[in-house]
């Protein structure tokens, strides 16, 4: 692997694995005028043997533990093509002086894309998408009997950028929105122009009832639809468990556009079988890629999409530009922009 182009140093960018191919394709396209930036895809199994050759790593769905990171002896930055960094041992990177970052979703269109997918899954379950396909194939008209989103109560678990984007999209449907967040902003005595609205005013207009993580069981009992937008942490792994689903209304819908590990698989299957859970719509799964033979697909009220909530032309073009700009900034040693450092 050459380290120079025309005797000038090369900055090498590593994309881990073949999934989410538009991420690397758009990044290469953005950087095609800069021969001193090299963008490579390396198979997941080969990353540990090759990571030492790279300066910037785009992690995607690779798990970078301390063993892999210890081999990254030229690495300057590990980043996600999006926001999720649960697969990166941030402490190990920090010990080795490697920065770790995410791309904020509000500026790239990623949050809006994910929010739209949540709407798609909600409507697909309410209008019985799978059963409609059966009716088409059987030449039936006027069935299945669906439900409206109008008048429903939606519980948004995790009111970050995606949660706010989702609430904005949901309001015109005539729904009641309840939401939880680790901490809600307080009214600070900061001068705000009369024409401008504070973040609190925006949130208060969107959310009918606010709560914190300790309130999730109570709030779940009010909701017709629960949408999981939480980050995956040690505290949230398996948070959608038997106790939580049991606290939901009988027949309520469960949507997950965040991370598969938030849901307890056995609990979800159990409550689908008992028909306590009215439907499941997920863009992320317990194992990815998803097993097409998974028995959960036998349920007509289950819709699964292949981790594409944030995969849109707008969001991927925007994030590819961020990665490309960061690679150029690393190359010349200027401050990094468009990313959020976590260490």
Look at residue 203 in the predicted model and tell me its pLDDT: 80
User: Within this chain, do residues 251 and 326 fall inside the same structural domain, yes or no?
Assistant: no
Q: Are residues 240 and 149 in the same domain?
A: yes
Check whether residue 100 and residue 183 sit in a common domain. no
Flag whether 48 is in a domain: yes
| Half-sphere CA count of 11, side-chain side, radius 13 A | 18
User: Does the pTM exceed 0.95?
Assistant: no
> Within a domain: residue 322?
yes
Is the alpha carbon torsion for 108, 195, 209, 253 positive or negative?
negative
251 and 165 part of one domain: yes
Do the domain assignments include residue 243? yes
Cα separation values, 54 from 2, 34, 91, 282, 284, Å: 12, 17, 20, 34, 29
* Residue 190 pLDDT: 47
Q: Are residues 165 and 132 in the same domain?
A: yes
- The kind and range of the H/E element at 179 are strand 176-180
Q: What is the pLDDT along the chain (343 residues), one digit of tens a residue?
A: 445 655 678 999 999 999 999 999 999 999 999 999 999 999 999 999 999 999 999 999 999 999 999 999 999 999 999 888 989 999 999 999 999 999 988 888 889 999 999 999 999 999 999 999 999 999 999 999 999 999 999 999 999 999 999 999 999 999 999 999 988 876 544 454 555 566 667 787 899 999 998 999 999 999 999 999 998 888 999 999 999 999 999 999 999 999 999 999 999 999 999 999 999 999 999 888 899 999 999 999 999 999 999 999 999 999 999 999 999 999 999 999 999 999 9
In a domain, 226, yes or no: yes
* Residue 187 shares a structural domain with residue 233: yes
Taking the C-alpha atoms of residue 93 and residue 80, their distance in angstroms, rounded to an integer, is 14
Do 296 and 326 belong together in one domain? no
Cα separation of 304 and 300, whole Å?
11
Say if residue 101 is in the same domain as residue 132.
no
Chain centroid offset of residue 339 CA:
16
Output the domain CATH number for residue 319: 3.40.50.720
Please give the pLDDT value at position 205.
86
d(C-alpha 159, C-alpha 215), whole Å: 14
Residue 87 in any domain: the answer is: yes
Q: What is the pLDDT of residue 191?
A: 53
What DSSP state is assigned to residue 310? T
Give how many domains the chain has, as a whole number: 2
- Asked if the structure places residue 1 within a domain, the reply is no
User: For residue 247, what pLDDT is reported?
Assistant: 97
Are residues 322 and 209 part of one domain? no
Q: Are residues 299 and 320 in the same domain?
A: no
Residues 120 and 94 in one domain: no
What range does the domain containing 239 cover?
Answer: 110-304
What six digits make up the tokens of 77?
């930055």
Q: List the structure tokens of 318.
A: 């925007």
279 and 320 assigned to the same domain: no
- CB contact set of 330 (below 8 Å; sequence gap of 6+): 11, 55, 56, 76, 77, 336
């Amino acid at each position: 692997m050459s380290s120079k182009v025309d005797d000038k140093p090369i900055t090498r960018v590593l994309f881990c694995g073949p999934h989410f191919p538009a991420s690397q394709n758009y990044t290469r396209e953005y950087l095609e005028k800069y021969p001193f930036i090299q963008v490579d895809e390396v198979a997941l199994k080969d990353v540990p043997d090759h990571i030492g050759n790279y300066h910037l790593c785009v992690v995607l769905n690779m798990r970078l533990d301390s063993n892999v990171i210890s081999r990254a002896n030229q690495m300057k930055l590990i980043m996600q093509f999006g926001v999720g960094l649960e697969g990166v041992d941030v402490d190990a990177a920090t010990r080795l002086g490697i920065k770790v970052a995410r791309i904020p979703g509000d500026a790239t269109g990623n949050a809006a894309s994910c929010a739209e997918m949540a709407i798609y899954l909600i409507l697909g379950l309410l209008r019985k998408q799978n059963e409609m396909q059966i009716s088409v194939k059987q030449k039936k008209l006027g069935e299945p009997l669906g439900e409206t989103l109008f008048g429903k109560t939606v519980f948004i678990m995790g009111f970050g950028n995606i949660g706010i984007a989702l609430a904005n999209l949901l309001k015109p449907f005539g729904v009641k929105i309840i939401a939880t967040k680790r901490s809600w902003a307080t009214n600070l005595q900061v001068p705000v122009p009369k024409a401008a609205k504070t973040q609190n005013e925006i949130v208060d207009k969107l959310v009918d009832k606010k709560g914190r993580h300790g309130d999730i069981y109570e709030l779940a009992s009010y909701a017709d639809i629960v949408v999981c937008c939480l980050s995956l942490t040690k505290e949230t792994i398996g948070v959608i468990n038997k106790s939580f689903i049991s606290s939901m209304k009988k027949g309520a819908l469960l949507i997950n556009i965040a991370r598969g590990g938030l849901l307890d698989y056995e609990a979800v299957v159990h409550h689908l079988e008992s028909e306590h859970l009215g439907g499941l719509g997920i863009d992320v799964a317990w194992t990815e890629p998803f097993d097409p033979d998974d028995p959960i697909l036998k349920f007509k009220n289950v819709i699964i999409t292949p981790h594409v909530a944030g995969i849109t032309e707008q969001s991927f073009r925007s994030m590819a530009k961020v990665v490309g700009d960061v690679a150029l900034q690393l190359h010349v040693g200027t401050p990094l922009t468009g990313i959020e450092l976590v260490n």
